[in-house]
Amino acid sequence: MISGLIDILIFASSFLLVLSFLVFFHELGHYSVGRFFGISVDRFSIGFGKPIAKWKAKSGTEWMIAQIPLGGYVKFTGDATGASNPDAQALAELKAKVEQEGGEGVENIFHFRPVWQRALVVLAGPVANFVLAILIFAGLAFAMGSYDRTSVISSVEQNSAAAEAGILPGDKILTMDGHDVSRFTALKSYVVLKSDTDIKTQVERNGEILELVVAPKRVEERDFVGGKASAGRLGVGLDSQSELIHIEYNPIEALGYGVGRLGSTLAMTGTYVGRIFQGKENGQQLGSVVKIATITGKSAVDAANADAPFVKRMQEMALRLIQLAAAISIGLGVANLMPIPVLDGGHLVYYAYEAVAGRPLSQEKQEFGFKIGFALLLTLFVALTINDIGYVSSIFS
């Protein structure tokens, strides 16, 4: 009984800790760039709803921790809500003040700033998430290095994609569609989103270079927390005695590694979304807060219950949560860049229109867009929650 309660506590607290940290960093991006331009901020909130704790800074910003810890917002002066949609009445009053007083006292209002400044403030949130991911990847690379194995095949499963392509034990896979996959991490990453797609593959066999065509088969496997996920698979194994490569990084190299990891993750995300529109993926790998909570919480619980000394378990838990934070941070940044009103990407679309047309979209059209955006988000949330339920149930199936 007590053990179960402890697991629940670890599950919930690890998820809330990771999510709150990522939301804080995202909103800090908006806040920091806004304050850099001298823009007035009314409120910085982690969570939604009624405040649990709040305090006021010398700048006049009210900092708040709210009851529902599933997001956060920065509310600039003149905003109607934390989504930065303008308060028409408040802005009309401020415009009247501009006419009467020559603009004094309103130069710090977000909605009166040049469009390029507003765009940078909005873009700063997702960029902050990407920067955080780079720093995490770079920090881990510098502290621990990275490990990989050469793509030398030791076994080939019968009736697998590799077998049908003519790959044999002892082959070293060099390139796929011209991409270097001589290390197994690169090989696996390239194949995972290429199911049922012909790949021109170059292999080395007994010193000779051969050209083969392999089409990875879609298979359903368990991920690292036990949930089912479908992906492209070759059906090959590596010899445990194959060359293990340990790569160490100096600070500059580690930073480059972090940037590379961000770039490869964004590329895989773009590939996956593209394949959804092409009808090659069903979108079931996408998830929302339930899936994030499940993966984060179960990773922490599994580490806490491992058969190892207490210190080792805590170290493993911290490492898992840090690595997940980097991946989720990228996802959070990408999600916020979707061109849906209410999200950062939607605001950027409005600002792009304003920059081209020389005038902002009318208040009525902006408000209509926000309503449509909210409806789209609600629909997307329902669809992703259905995915989440299927994923969570697969862990216990």
- Catalytic residue list: 27
Is the CB of residue 360 less than 8 Å from the CB of residue 263?
no
Q: Name, in order, each residue with C-beta under 8 angstroms of 263's C-beta and a sequence gap of 6 or more.
A: none
CA–CA distances in Å: residue 57 to residues 42, 60, 62, 75, 108: 10, 5, 6, 14, 17
Which DSSP helix (H) or strand (E) runs through 23?
Answer: helix 2-36
Distance CA 160, CA 82 (A): 52
The single-letter code of the amino acid at 233 is R
Distance CA 284, CA 387 (A): 6
Distance CA 140, CA 151 (A): 24
Is the CB of residue 42 less than 8 Å from the CB of residue 79?
yes
Coil, helix or strand at residue 281: coil
Distance CA 359, CA 352 (A): 10
Angle made by CA atoms 122, 352, 277, in degrees to the nearest 5: 90
Q: Of 85, 108, 132, 115, which is closest to residue 35 (Cα–Cα)? A: 108
Structure tokens that stand for 200 in this block: 């021109």
At 361, give phi and psi (nearest 5°).
-60, 145
